Amino acid sequence: MTKKILVCDDEANVRMFLRDLLTLEGFAVVEAESGLAAVDSASRDKPDLCILDLMLPDFNGIELLPRLKAANPMLAIIVITALGTVDNAVLSLKAGAYDFITKPFDVDTILISVKRALEFVSVSKENTALWNLHKNRMYFEDFIGECPAVQAIKALIPKLAFADVPILITGETGTGKNVLAKQIHFTLAGAESPLVYTNCSSIPATLFESELFGHEKGSYTGAVSQKKGRVEQAHGGTLLLDEITEIPYEIQAKLLDFLQERTFYRVGGVTPISVETRIIALTNKNLPEEIKAGRFRKDLYYRLNVIHFTVPPLKDRADDIQLICEYLLGLLRRKYNSPALGISGAAMGLIRAYAWPGNVRELKNVLERAFICAEGDEIGPESLILEEHDHATLKQELKDLVGEFERDVILRRLAFWKGNRTATARDLGVSIRNLQYKLERYDIR
Ligand SMILES: Nc1ncnc2c1ncn2[C@@H]1O[C@H](COP(=O)(O)OP(=O)(O)OP(=O)(O)O)[C@@H](O)[C@H]1O
Ligand SMILES: [Mg+2]
């Protein structure tokens, strides 16, 4: 996207010079000849960058800086002035300017400063977006659980702080891999550092390398400017690679190189770039099977498998079910503003007995539905709509039903033959011994 630059100077020839220079470089330029006009334009035209003269007729540029920032918080500002004193430079930088240039200036100085400032803006915009995203999510999501497997995971996390190794998280769908990954990021890298989320299944194979590692200007048709990849954007923080098995096979080798060397090349780049980015890889697939099927590289698997967390399915976390239920109910009470709503013992019994093939995600959905539909102050078993009955329960139920039916038939025939067992057995087409057995089993005298 074309970047827009606001040039604010009261001298028309300076504005003209900058406009011509910047337009030639492919930027869109808007102009202002006074401080007030600049503040106006900053909020109306939404420029990415402002080149600001410190000496304006209506304002001192240093006073203007906070007003410009207020009008457009993401605006980068480069200050220019003929009065190149250290004091002014320090003051403007303190007031939030990105750079300081003295007149007379040469073309290169201006262009270098402009490009750096714009790059800075785009990285901080991305960061803000990501930060808001994960801040919002994090607010409601703690990785809840106390069962031994989860305790072991939680105990290991802080020990990884200084370990330069990737982390692999596997487990069935809905077990909380994403929640856990975010918790790991927060614990190890801290809230201020970038968390770059990438769902590998959502990136087209042809763009994968450039998305991950970035590209240099002109490296392929369409690469109109240099671009930082996600590995680079996550510098100092975490790159979360969700659905890791969806990375195209050739790119898996490049990821492995990066994990081994800790450096990479942008597409079309010749200088190796090194970053401190922790990789957290997630999948609900069975990796050894993916390897056997030729879809996932064994060598990458070995590299990722150093620290491997397996999040157990909900049905194996009997003690956590109640805990997670209470946590989710707490969220729902707040969301629907009904602090009194609870869950009946019978409903809790059903929840404990169910197999939860969709794990915590399914539990969350079932509870939310029940919460909305519940009459009165309690969720009862009738509000719990469970998709798929556990096979074992189903079999047991079927057996019981058939048994009841059989008992009923035998009782009626026996009554018809006035308790004569031989006649009843003949009538039912079973041996007398078989009938005897069933009478005992169904407790019929
Ligand atoms: N331990 C947990 N504590 C709190 N919430 C959880 C927990 N585990 C899962 N959840 C909730 O369940 C839902 C699914 O979790 P998540 O997206 O992390 O699953 P996943 O393992 O990544 O699943 P998939 O493999 O399908 O991507 C989310 O809404 C999350 O908030
Ligand atoms: Mg997930």
Q: Whose CA is nearest to atom 7 of ligand 1?
A: 176
Least Cα distance to 155 among 353, 307, 366, 364 occurs for 307
**Number of Cβ within a 10 Å radius of residue 217:** 11
DSSP 33-56: SSHHHHHHHHHHT--SEEEEESB-
- Minimum-distance ligand 1 atom for the alpha carbon of 242: 27
Q: How far apart are CA 27 and CA 84, in angstroms?
A: 27
- Going by C-beta distance under 8 Å and a sequence separation of 6 or more, which residues neighbour residue 258? 213, 231, 264
7, 39, 96, 128, 399 from 67: Cα distances, Å: 16, 7, 11, 21, 77
Q: Which is the closest atom of ligand 1 to the Cα of 172?
A: 25
Burial of 153: CB neighbours in 10 Å, binned 0-12, 13-18, 19+: buried
pLDDT of residue 282: 97
Given this model, what pLDDT does residue 402 score? 73
Q: Which two tokens stand for residue 440?
A: 């005992």
What number of other Cβ atoms are within 10 A of residue 282's Cβ? 23
Q: How far is the CA of 179 from the centre of ligand 1 (A)?
A: 6
CATH of 391-441, one of 1.10.3470, 3.30.1490, 1.10.1060, 1.10.10: 1.10.10
Write the Ramachandran bin of 176: left for phi over 0, alpha for psi from -120 to 50, otherwise beta. left
Tokens of 343: 């869950």
Q: Is the CB of 360 under 6 A from ligand 1?
A: yes
Supply the DSSP string of 248-307, one letter for each residue.
Answer: -HHHHHHHHHHHHHSEE--BT--S-EE---EEEEEESS-HHHHHHTTSS-HHHHHHHTTE
Domain residue ranges of the chain, discontinuous segments joined by +: 4-121, 148-310, 314-383, 391-441
Can you count the helices (H) and strands (E) in the chain?
18, 16
Give Cα 352 to chain centroid, integer Å: 29
CATH topology of domain 314-383: Helicase, Ruva Protein; domain 3 (1.10.8)
Homologous superfamily (CATH) for 148-310:
P-loop containing nucleotide triphosphate hydrolases (3.40.50.300)
pLDDT along the chain (445 residues), means of 10: 92 93 94 93 93 87 85 88 69 79 84 89 72 52 87 92 92 95 89 88 89 88 81 94 96 96 93 94 96 96 96 93 93 86 89 92 93 86 76 60 81 90 90 89 83
CA distance 421 to 433: 10
Model pLDDT, residue 140: 41
CATH class for the domain made up of 4-121: alpha beta
Ligand in nearest proximity to the CA of 360? 1
| pTM for the whole structure | 0.62
Taking alpha carbons only, the member of 190, 75, 77 closest to residue 125 is: 75
- Alpha carbon separation from 48 to 19, 40, 72, 172 (Å, rounded): 15, 14, 9, 44
Closest CA to 96 of 122, 110, 123, 117: 117
Q: Which ligand is nearest to the CA of 141?
A: 1
**H-run or E-run covering 360:** helix 359-373
CB of 144 sitting under 6 A from ligand 1:
yes
Q: What is the pLDDT of residue 139?
A: 44
Cα separation of 344 and 362, whole Å? 19
Residue type, 216: E
- pLDDT at 172 (0 to 100): 96
Helix (H, G, I), strand (E, B) or coil at 423: helix
Question: For a pocket test of ligand 1, which of 136, 142, 170, 175 has the largest count of ligand atoms closer than 8 A to its C-beta?
Answer: 175
Q: Ligand 1 pocket, 5 CB below 6 A?
A: no
Q: Considering every ligand atom, which ligand is closest to the CA of 365?
A: 1
Q: How far is the CA of 361 from the centre of ligand 1 (A)?
A: 6
Question: CA 259 to CA 396: how far, in whole Å?
Answer: 51
Q: Say how far apart CA 72 and CA 50 lie, in whole Å.
A: 10
CATH topology agreement for domains 314-383 and 391-441? no
Cα 122 to Cα 68, 159, 192, 242, 244, distances in angstroms = 18, 34, 17, 24, 27
